[in-house]
Amino acid sequence: MLMRAATSVVICLAIGSTSFQFTSQLRADTSKPAKSAASKTEERESTRRKPLPAYYGQIGVNDEQRQQLYSIQDSYEVKLEKLREELKALIAERDAKLEAVLTPGQKSRLKELREAARRKAAERGSQTAEK
């Protein structure tokens, strides 16, 4: 039952346009205190340009439709953020159980590999910013 719920959440997130952002959040530093879904939504609303869903800007929606679309998006954002937080918790629970199977040496090597991957990703990010 838990796996079915987790699978449903994953499918919903994959369909949404926010899946890339969620992936970035999962890789973010976990030492930062978590923000509530409402505060994340408020922060996102205050800084975002409110893009329309894919291809909606190319079909000639009028201003009234645009506002309705934004309203619908906003009404789902809190629910989606809550699901993202639940999924993040499920992933953390799964990862803890996976790591519990490993020996101390394997855990150490896993930590080294993850740190190397983070450094490599940071280097790629800084190289992209320089271009």
Residue-wise pLDDT tens digits, 49-99: 578 889 998 999 999 999 999 999 999 999 999 999 999 999 999 999 999
Tokens standing for residue 43: 């922060």
Task: Tell me which residue of 77, 92, 94 sits closest to 39, measured CA to CA.
Answer: 77
What pLDDT is attached to residue 79? 94
Higher-pLDDT residue of 17 and 104 is 104
pLDDT in tens, 11-64: 544 444 444 344 444 444 444 455 566 666 566 555 555 788 899 989 999 999
17: helix, strand or coil: coil
Q: What is the pTM of this model?
A: 0.51
The b/e string for 52-64 (b: 16+ C-beta within 10 A; e otherwise) is beeeeeeeeeeee
Tokens standing for residue 7: 């699978």
What pLDDT is attached to residue 62? 93
Burial class (CB in 10 A: 0-12, 13-18, 19+), 49: exposed
